[in-house]
Amino acid sequence: MNDGRSRPPVRVATCSLAQHALDFEGNKRRIAESISRAKEKGARYRLGPELEIPGYGCQDHFLENDTFRHSWQVLADLLVDEKLTYGIVCDIGIPAIHRGVRYNCRVFVLDGKILLVRPKLYMANDGNYREHRYFTPWQFGRKNEVYVLPDIVRQVTKQKTCPFGFFVLDFHDACLAAETCEELFTPRSPHILLGLNGVDIISNGSGSHHQLRKLNTRVNLMKNATSKGGGAYL
Protein backbone atom coordinates (compact mmCIF):
# COMPACT_ATOMS: atom_id res chain seq x y z
CA MET A 1 0.00 0.00 0.00
CA ASN A 2 1.27 3.46 -0.90
CA ASP A 3 1.15 5.61 2.24
CA GLY A 4 2.31 8.72 0.40
CA ARG A 5 5.82 8.63 1.80
CA SER A 6 8.75 8.47 -0.60
CA ARG A 7 11.29 5.72 -0.27
CA PRO A 8 14.70 6.63 1.15
CA PRO A 9 17.47 7.02 -1.43
CA VAL A 10 19.57 3.99 -2.30
CA ARG A 11 23.30 4.59 -2.56
CA VAL A 12 25.13 2.56 -5.19
CA ALA A 13 28.78 2.37 -6.21
CA THR A 14 30.46 1.66 -9.53
CA CYS A 15 34.16 1.11 -10.01
CA SER A 16 36.64 1.07 -12.86
CA LEU A 17 39.58 -1.11 -11.85
CA ALA A 18 43.05 -1.50 -13.35
CA GLN A 19 42.66 -5.25 -13.82
CA HIS A 20 45.31 -7.27 -15.65
CA ALA A 21 44.94 -10.55 -17.52
CA LEU A 22 45.63 -13.55 -15.25
CA ASP A 23 46.84 -11.33 -12.37
CA PHE A 24 44.56 -13.17 -9.97
CA GLU A 25 46.17 -11.95 -6.76
CA GLY A 26 46.38 -8.33 -7.90
CA ASN A 27 42.86 -8.39 -9.30
CA LYS A 28 41.55 -9.90 -6.05
CA ARG A 29 43.24 -7.18 -4.02
CA ARG A 30 41.73 -4.41 -6.15
CA ILE A 31 38.25 -5.97 -6.03
CA ALA A 32 38.40 -6.27 -2.24
CA GLU A 33 39.58 -2.68 -1.91
CA SER A 34 36.75 -1.44 -4.14
CA ILE A 35 34.16 -3.28 -2.04
CA SER A 36 35.61 -1.87 1.18
CA ARG A 37 35.60 1.67 -0.21
CA ALA A 38 32.01 1.28 -1.43
CA LYS A 39 30.93 0.19 2.05
CA GLU A 40 32.78 3.11 3.64
CA LYS A 41 30.75 5.46 1.44
CA GLY A 42 27.50 3.85 2.55
CA ALA A 43 26.74 2.01 -0.71
CA ARG A 44 24.35 -0.94 -0.60
CA TYR A 45 25.29 -2.17 -4.08
CA ARG A 46 28.72 -2.39 -5.71
CA LEU A 47 29.09 -2.87 -9.49
CA GLY A 48 32.37 -4.14 -10.90
CA PRO A 49 33.75 -4.48 -14.44
CA GLU A 50 33.14 -7.34 -16.83
CA LEU A 51 35.37 -10.38 -16.16
CA GLU A 52 37.15 -8.44 -13.44
CA ILE A 53 38.50 -11.52 -11.66
CA PRO A 54 40.64 -12.99 -14.48
CA GLY A 55 40.84 -9.73 -16.48
CA TYR A 56 38.97 -9.04 -19.70
CA GLY A 57 41.96 -9.52 -22.03
CA CYS A 58 42.83 -13.16 -21.31
CA GLN A 59 42.04 -14.10 -24.93
CA ASP A 60 42.76 -17.81 -25.59
CA HIS A 61 43.42 -18.40 -21.90
CA PHE A 62 39.62 -18.39 -21.62
CA LEU A 63 39.80 -21.73 -23.41
CA GLU A 64 41.74 -23.20 -20.48
CA ASN A 65 39.86 -24.70 -17.55
CA ASP A 66 42.51 -23.38 -15.15
CA THR A 67 41.39 -19.81 -15.88
CA PHE A 68 37.89 -20.68 -14.67
CA ARG A 69 39.18 -22.67 -11.71
CA HIS A 70 41.44 -19.86 -10.50
CA SER A 71 38.64 -17.32 -10.97
CA TRP A 72 36.34 -19.23 -8.64
CA GLN A 73 39.19 -19.67 -6.18
CA VAL A 74 39.48 -15.88 -6.05
CA LEU A 75 35.73 -15.57 -5.48
CA ALA A 76 35.96 -18.10 -2.64
CA ASP A 77 38.77 -16.03 -1.09
CA LEU A 78 36.58 -12.92 -1.27
CA LEU A 79 33.64 -14.71 0.33
CA VAL A 80 35.65 -16.24 3.15
CA ASP A 81 36.25 -12.75 4.58
CA GLU A 82 33.16 -12.48 6.78
CA LYS A 83 33.13 -8.69 6.83
CA LEU A 84 33.80 -7.92 3.17
CA THR A 85 30.48 -8.73 1.48
CA TYR A 86 28.19 -8.37 4.49
CA GLY A 87 25.58 -5.66 4.12
CA ILE A 88 26.34 -4.93 0.47
CA VAL A 89 25.25 -6.62 -2.76
CA CYS A 90 28.40 -7.21 -4.81
CA ASP A 91 28.10 -7.67 -8.58
CA ILE A 92 31.34 -9.31 -9.75
CA GLY A 93 32.46 -10.23 -13.27
CA ILE A 94 33.55 -13.86 -13.61
CA PRO A 95 33.64 -16.64 -16.24
CA ALA A 96 31.68 -19.83 -15.55
CA ILE A 97 31.22 -23.25 -17.11
CA HIS A 98 27.63 -24.47 -16.95
CA ARG A 99 26.72 -27.88 -18.38
CA GLY A 100 29.96 -27.95 -20.34
CA VAL A 101 29.42 -24.50 -21.91
CA ARG A 102 31.60 -21.46 -21.22
CA TYR A 103 29.77 -18.28 -20.25
CA ASN A 104 30.78 -14.71 -19.54
CA CYS A 105 28.94 -14.05 -16.27
CA ARG A 106 28.17 -11.78 -13.39
CA VAL A 107 27.86 -13.30 -9.94
CA PHE A 108 25.79 -11.54 -7.28
CA VAL A 109 26.85 -12.10 -3.68
CA LEU A 110 25.54 -10.82 -0.35
CA ASP A 111 26.49 -11.60 3.23
CA GLY A 112 29.04 -14.20 2.17
CA LYS A 113 26.53 -16.12 0.04
CA ILE A 114 26.00 -16.40 -3.73
CA LEU A 115 22.58 -15.11 -4.78
CA LEU A 116 22.76 -16.01 -8.47
CA VAL A 117 24.89 -16.19 -11.60
CA ARG A 118 23.78 -14.11 -14.58
CA PRO A 119 25.27 -15.11 -18.01
CA LYS A 120 25.80 -12.61 -20.81
CA LEU A 121 23.11 -12.63 -23.50
CA TYR A 122 24.90 -10.95 -26.42
CA MET A 123 28.56 -11.25 -27.36
CA ALA A 124 30.80 -8.52 -28.75
CA ASN A 125 32.15 -9.95 -31.98
CA ASP A 126 33.18 -7.06 -34.22
CA GLY A 127 36.22 -4.83 -34.54
CA ASN A 128 38.71 -5.85 -31.83
CA TYR A 129 36.26 -8.22 -30.17
CA ARG A 130 36.11 -11.99 -30.59
CA GLU A 131 34.00 -13.07 -27.63
CA HIS A 132 32.32 -15.86 -29.61
CA ARG A 133 35.73 -17.54 -29.77
CA TYR A 134 35.69 -18.02 -25.99
CA PHE A 135 32.09 -17.80 -24.79
CA THR A 136 28.56 -18.81 -25.74
CA PRO A 137 25.68 -16.34 -25.29
CA TRP A 138 22.82 -17.36 -23.01
CA GLN A 139 20.14 -18.46 -25.46
CA PHE A 140 17.30 -19.40 -23.14
CA GLY A 141 15.75 -15.99 -22.50
CA ARG A 142 14.20 -15.69 -19.06
CA LYS A 143 14.52 -19.39 -18.34
CA ASN A 144 16.48 -20.11 -15.17
CA GLU A 145 18.49 -23.21 -14.37
CA VAL A 146 20.39 -24.65 -11.42
CA TYR A 147 24.13 -24.07 -11.37
CA VAL A 148 26.32 -26.54 -9.51
CA LEU A 149 28.91 -24.50 -7.65
CA PRO A 150 32.60 -25.48 -7.76
CA ASP A 151 33.86 -27.44 -4.76
CA ILE A 152 36.10 -24.62 -3.56
CA VAL A 153 33.10 -22.32 -3.26
CA ARG A 154 30.87 -24.95 -1.64
CA GLN A 155 33.41 -25.31 1.17
CA VAL A 156 33.15 -21.61 1.95
CA THR A 157 29.45 -20.81 1.44
CA LYS A 158 28.01 -24.25 2.33
CA GLN A 159 25.88 -23.91 -0.81
CA LYS A 160 25.77 -26.73 -3.36
CA THR A 161 23.88 -24.84 -6.06
CA CYS A 162 22.58 -21.41 -7.01
CA PRO A 163 20.23 -20.00 -9.70
CA PHE A 164 21.71 -19.45 -13.17
CA GLY A 165 20.03 -17.30 -15.84
CA PHE A 166 18.26 -13.97 -16.35
CA PHE A 167 17.02 -12.44 -13.09
CA VAL A 168 15.58 -9.41 -11.35
CA LEU A 169 16.44 -8.84 -7.69
CA ASP A 170 13.51 -7.34 -5.81
CA PHE A 171 14.49 -5.71 -2.52
CA HIS A 172 12.36 -3.76 -0.03
CA ASP A 173 13.58 -0.40 -1.30
CA ALA A 174 14.54 -1.04 -4.94
CA CYS A 175 14.34 -3.45 -7.85
CA LEU A 176 17.70 -4.30 -9.45
CA ALA A 177 18.79 -6.04 -12.66
CA ALA A 178 21.96 -6.20 -14.73
CA GLU A 179 23.24 -6.00 -18.27
CA THR A 180 26.76 -6.78 -19.45
CA CYS A 181 28.62 -4.47 -21.86
CA GLU A 182 27.46 -5.40 -25.39
CA GLU A 183 23.86 -5.76 -24.21
CA LEU A 184 23.65 -1.96 -24.03
CA PHE A 185 24.68 -1.67 -27.69
CA THR A 186 22.26 -4.20 -29.20
CA PRO A 187 18.84 -3.33 -30.69
CA ARG A 188 17.16 -5.77 -28.27
CA SER A 189 18.77 -4.47 -25.09
CA PRO A 190 17.40 -6.19 -21.97
CA HIS A 191 17.00 -2.84 -20.20
CA ILE A 192 13.99 -2.01 -22.41
CA LEU A 193 11.92 -4.90 -21.06
CA LEU A 194 13.34 -4.44 -17.56
CA GLY A 195 12.31 -0.78 -17.48
CA LEU A 196 8.81 -1.60 -18.69
CA ASN A 197 8.54 -4.09 -15.85
CA GLY A 198 9.38 -1.53 -13.18
CA VAL A 199 13.06 -2.19 -12.51
CA ASP A 200 14.51 0.87 -10.72
CA ILE A 201 18.23 0.24 -11.09
CA ILE A 202 19.84 -1.34 -14.15
CA SER A 203 23.57 -1.88 -14.01
CA ASN A 204 26.10 -2.65 -16.71
CA GLY A 205 29.44 -4.13 -15.76
CA SER A 206 31.53 -3.43 -18.84
CA GLY A 207 35.01 -4.27 -20.04
CA SER A 208 36.54 -3.48 -23.39
CA HIS A 209 39.68 -2.71 -25.33
CA HIS A 210 40.74 0.91 -25.74
CA GLN A 211 38.82 2.49 -28.59
CA LEU A 212 38.72 6.14 -29.58
CA ARG A 213 35.44 7.96 -28.87
CA LYS A 214 33.74 4.83 -27.51
CA LEU A 215 33.09 6.62 -24.22
CA ASN A 216 30.92 9.19 -25.99
CA THR A 217 28.83 6.41 -27.53
CA ARG A 218 28.52 4.61 -24.21
CA VAL A 219 27.45 7.74 -22.28
CA ASN A 220 24.84 8.65 -24.90
CA LEU A 221 23.37 5.13 -24.77
CA MET A 222 23.25 5.24 -20.97
CA LYS A 223 21.45 8.60 -21.02
CA ASN A 224 19.01 7.25 -23.56
CA ALA A 225 18.33 4.13 -21.48
CA THR A 226 17.69 6.22 -18.36
CA SER A 227 15.44 8.75 -20.08
CA LYS A 228 13.31 6.04 -21.70
CA GLY A 229 12.98 3.64 -18.80
CA GLY A 230 13.27 5.94 -15.80
CA GLY A 231 15.17 4.94 -12.71
CA ALA A 232 18.94 4.79 -12.97
CA TYR A 233 21.29 3.13 -15.46
CA LEU A 234 24.80 2.52 -14.12
Please say whether the structural domain 12-233 has been given the CATH code 3.60.110.10: yes
Domain boundaries along the sequence of the chain: 12-233
What does the pLDDT read at residue 4? 52
Residue 10 has pLDDT above 90, yes or no: no
pLDDT of residue 6: 65
- In this prediction, residue 1 carries a pLDDT of 38
> Which carries the bigger pLDDT value, residue 219 or residue 99?
99
Does pLDDT of 210 surpass 80?
no
Q: What is the Cα–Cα distance from 91 to 35, expressed in whole angstroms?
A: 10
Q: Is the pLDDT of residue 3 over 70?
A: no
Long-range contacts of 134-138 (CB under 8 A, 24+ apart): 134/59, 134/60, 134/62, 134/63, 134/102, 134/104, 135/62, 135/95, 135/102, 135/103, 135/104, 136/101, 136/102, 136/103, 138/103, 138/165, 138/166
- pLDDT above 60 for 164: yes
- The pLDDT assigned to 175 comes to 94
Q: What pTM does this model have?
A: 0.93
- Lowest-pLDDT choice from 168-172, 189-193, 204-208: 204-208
Q: Is 80 exceeded by the pLDDT of residue 8?
A: no
pLDDT in tens, 22-72: 999 999 999 999 999 999 999 999 999 999 999 999 999 999 999 999 999
